[in-house]
Structure 1
């Protein structure tokens, strides 16, 4: 009888520790966040570090800068704010520039280093969480919530800063009006985009959508209301 009780107890413990196969990071989500995303980030790292002129010149697409200059010219004719066009004109000049100065080269190398950090963080952290928390699904889910929160906030920071530093076509010092005018160009003119801007805004937004899908429990097990198993006292290091 005692043996049957111990068997039931061990099976219960095994179920609470996730040996029944339930996980908040199934293979599909792991492949996406732990393999596919790090590879895409590594591509950004290589591009920013070893192809700096190309990367720098593509930050502001020529099509966008030309639309911005045209918008500023219209606003300037109405309000005489010609000096607001300096940023957009500078974007055109830099987009055709050749050699980068030392400060720009250093900034791009540091950006590549940040990409490398993000790549390692995603690849190794998701591997470690899936590997070492597989028997603790509640703890695994809680850790992942924090990780996805950090990454999701970083997604929006990246998107908003990218749009903020695009040339202002409105000629207005009002931040909301300037932001709205940039979004208007991006949503009405496909020529205002290039591959780098698409990656910085659209791909980053899609990554956030994927994180939000994980958040709401799409394609995974959820463990709300569970408790993290306590560490047995006899397993403590003496």
Structure 2
């Protein structure tokens, strides 16, 4: 009887072990929180296209490279990353970071571009046609044939209205005419860094950019673009 009880107990223990292994094999591992390295995957590694255009506007304004500035502005407006109004705001706020002379030169370049490219927002007002020949003939009491001839001559001499084909603004940019605080700080930091290099002032600007939401990788990207 004692042997039977011992054998029964042994069988029960062995069977329990197999059941435990079977149950363990079917369990799913619990999902752990993502590691720090996994979280960093979702951190922006560099500036976006709009931010890079602002950086280029800041650094070319400060360096006085008007050719590169003109090309950057034209490309940014064509791609829709910046509107003409935003470009104007970005340049006008650089009187301190880039210098007053550099800011005025950049504005002059931008105005020249707007004159060359009316779709960038230049305002073309109607011109008053010249009336010298017709007025003189009317004053002398000329006959109908002479009047008709004078009208034709005046029509040739008159300044014609603007006939440029205007591009429709992109829907997402139509009502966008302001720069946010981060945009303003970014373009100013780019101009300041280009002008004075890596000093305490530029370090303070980088700190402000970090507080406004730029990652350390984006700030490193900014430095790569400037220096």
Q: TM-score range by the shorter chain?
A: under 0.3
- Of structures 1 and 2, the one scoring higher in RCO (CA 8 A, sep 6+) is 1
TM-score (norm 1): 0.19
TM-score (norm 2): 0.19
More helix per residue: 1
